[in-house]
Amino acid sequence: RAKAGGGQQSAFFDAAMGQVVSERFAVEQDLRRGLAAQELRLYLQPQVNRQGHMVSAEALVRWQHPDKGLVPPGTFIGVAEESDLITEVGDWVLAQVCAHLGQLHTQGRRLPIAVNVSPRQFHKADFVPGVLHALEQAGAQPEDLVLEITEGVVIEQVDTVVRKMSQLTQRGVRFSIDDFGTGYSSLAYLKRLPIHELKIDKSFVQDAPHDPSDAALVEAILSVAGHLRLKVVAEGVETQEQADFLNQRANVIHQGYLFGRPAPAAEVLATWSGTRSDGASAA
């Protein structure tokens, strides 16, 4: 708290803080209302292989607000994460994704879908049974669900984190580390976690073709992933140059505007020619 400036400055500071707090509270209340009014929307963004075929997708939530229009998650996930609301948002997204996976499964089609899991959501006591219940309820195959966690999830209680992850991976669910390289954790934990994929953060991907430091970071991540036999998804691929940079170095799955923006889930699935459950491409 800024005391040195005397009464006036401190009063200004308090007022500014108060405004931030009340704005967060307003968003929280509005989100509570929006959830009840079923204003959340499930968007999917394609993840494509070297040939440009969609082989999986990431679920990205949107909020169809009556006054504000389509609200991106950056403006409300943080608020939800500070309260119990993240559980409701997370449960909703998981249920939606499992419903799509279950439906695809009955059609004999297969498209693994990745879901973002926030730290608070992961650390809840009933996270593991909740995921398994959502899968069962929808008749979805655990192998089709990818859970994206960030390094932030892993900072504390590593033993508990590993135990929870293992309970899910034993059932077939897979884990991915999102925004890899932007967190504060050490490389050592990679060895301990039952993960199958790393997602290279878009800040590295986008600058790699021109910035030698970003290029070196991307190459280091590809090298680590190769040695640990982890799949790599590159996030934020916008240009052919960025795609080429990656393709020249490794077998990478691409996710970015160059191949497809996030779009309503039903739309993405309807326009997808499909991969059969046996993995063969129908495209």
Structure tokens at 80: 């939800």
CA distance 93 to 40: 9
Give the one residue of 69, 74, 212, 279 binding ligand C2E; rule: CB under 6 A.
Answer: 74
Rounded alpha-carbon distances, angstroms, from residue 265 to 96, 221, 241, 271:
9, 30, 28, 10
Q: Between vectors from CA 179 to CA 31 and to CA 198, what angle results, nearest 5°?
A: 125
Give the one residue of 55, 96, 127, 148 binding Mg ion; rule: CB under 5 A.
Answer: 148
Question: Which of the stretches 114-122, 138-146, 160-168, 211-219 binds Mg ion when contact is defined by CB under 5 A?
Answer: 114-122
For residues 144 and 148, which CB has a smaller minimum distance to Mg ion in the complex? 148
Q: Which does 100 bind (CB under 5 to 8 A by kind): Mg ion, ligand C2E, none?
A: none
Give the one residue of 31, 77, 79, 268 binding ligand C2E; rule: CB under 6 A.
Answer: 77
CA distance 66 to 97: 24
Helix orientation angle between 127-138 and 85-106, rounded to the nearest 10 degrees: 30
Q: Between vectors from CA 93 to CA 120 and to CA 99, what angle results, nearest 5°?
A: 140
Site string for Mg ion, 207-246 (x = CB under 5 A): ----------------------------x-----------
Helix (H) or strand (E) holding 12: helix 6-36
143 Cβ contact partners less than 8 Å away, ≥ 6 residues apart: 112, 172, 173, 174
For residues 147 and 269, which CB has a smaller minimum distance to Mg ion in the complex? 147
Q: If binding means CB under 5 A, how many residues of this protein chain bind Mg ion? A: 5
Give the one residue of 30, 151, 179, 197 binding Mg ion; rule: CB under 5 A.
Answer: 179
The CB-of-63 to ligand C2E minimum distance in angstroms stands at 10
Kindly provide the residue ranges of all beta strands, DSSP E only, lying in the chain, ordered along the sequence.
40-48, 54-65, 69-71, 113-116, 145-150, 174-180, 197-200, 231-235, 253-255, 263-264
116 binds Mg ion (CB under 5 A): yes
Give the one residue of 56, 87, 96, 116 binding ligand C2E; rule: CB under 6 A.
Answer: 116
CB-side exposure of 174: number of CA atoms within 13 Å? 16
Question: Which of the stretches 3-11, 54-62, 125-133, 186-194 binds ligand C2E when contact is defined by CB under 6 A?
Answer: 54-62
The CB-of-95 to ligand C2E minimum distance in angstroms stands at 11
Q: Which does 73 bind (CB under 5 to 8 A by kind): Mg ion, ligand C2E, none?
A: ligand C2E
Query: Interface with Mg ion by CB under 5 A: which residues?
Result: 116, 148, 178-179, 235
Residue ranges binding ligand C2E (CB under 6 A): 45, 59-61, 72-74, 77, 90, 93, 116, 118, 178-179, 202, 235-238, 255-257, 262
